[in-house]
Amino acid sequence: MSKINRKKDQSGDWNKEDIEEIKEEGVASEEKKTDGEQPEENKTPDSKEKKEDPVLQAEQKLKETEDRLLRLRAEYDNFRKRSQKEKDSMFADGAISVVAAILPVMDNLERALSAAQQSPESGEEGLRKGIEMTHQQFRDILEKLGVTVIKTSGEAFDPALHNAVMHIEDEEVGENIIVEEFQKGYLYKDKVVRHAMVKVAN
């Protein structure tokens, strides 16, 4: 039995003090109820709702994408630097190999000059033989390196291989035939190092 009912049972009637006490109890009960319930608009979103916020998700994805791009850029820069370093190293190694291969030619030229100076009476003939031997040695070295001479005299003119600096008319020679070579041309494998300078007929 509630306190209100007990008061009524004791006297069978209501007095002023009982009525005031009942009012105070009712107000306290309403305040307690109000404090226990928070209005819907005042509720703050929980952590799960914050994580599901599309704006926050977009910002997070943007940040991750920027991080990936920065890492890729750094990796590309490192790759480019390594590639350039390797390229420079390969070029240097190739140049050293070529220089080492032709140094014997220089040695033989110096020997030939030295012999000509020591024996003036036979120096001319010795110098000629020394130059011939050195020339042949140089050609052999070039062939080992993959360098060959471009064919000219009697060959058909080819603008990819030859540079015509003079033309003549000659009925005894076919059209566009090379009749004279002014300067040798060279190929490195299938690439032109220097075009041959030639005279072409007709």
What CA–CA distances, in Å, run from 84 to 43, 54, 75, 78, 91?
62, 45, 14, 10, 11
Q: What is the mean pLDDT of residues 65-74?
A: 93
User: Domain-by-domain residue ranges, the chain?
Assistant: 60-145, 146-202
**For 156-186, how does the pLDDT look when each residue is reduced to its tens digit (9 = 90+)?**
999 999 999 999 998 888 899 999 999 999 9
Q: Give domain 146-202's CATH superfamily.
A: Head domain of nucleotide exchange factor GrpE (2.30.22.10)
At 200, is the pLDDT very low, low, confident or very high (cuts 50, 70, 90)?
very high
- Model pTM score: 0.54
Can you tell me the distance from the alpha carbon of 7 to that of 2, in angstroms, rounded to the nearest whole number? 9
Q: Which CATH fold topology does 60-145 show? A: Hemagglutinin Ectodomain; Chain B (3.90.20)
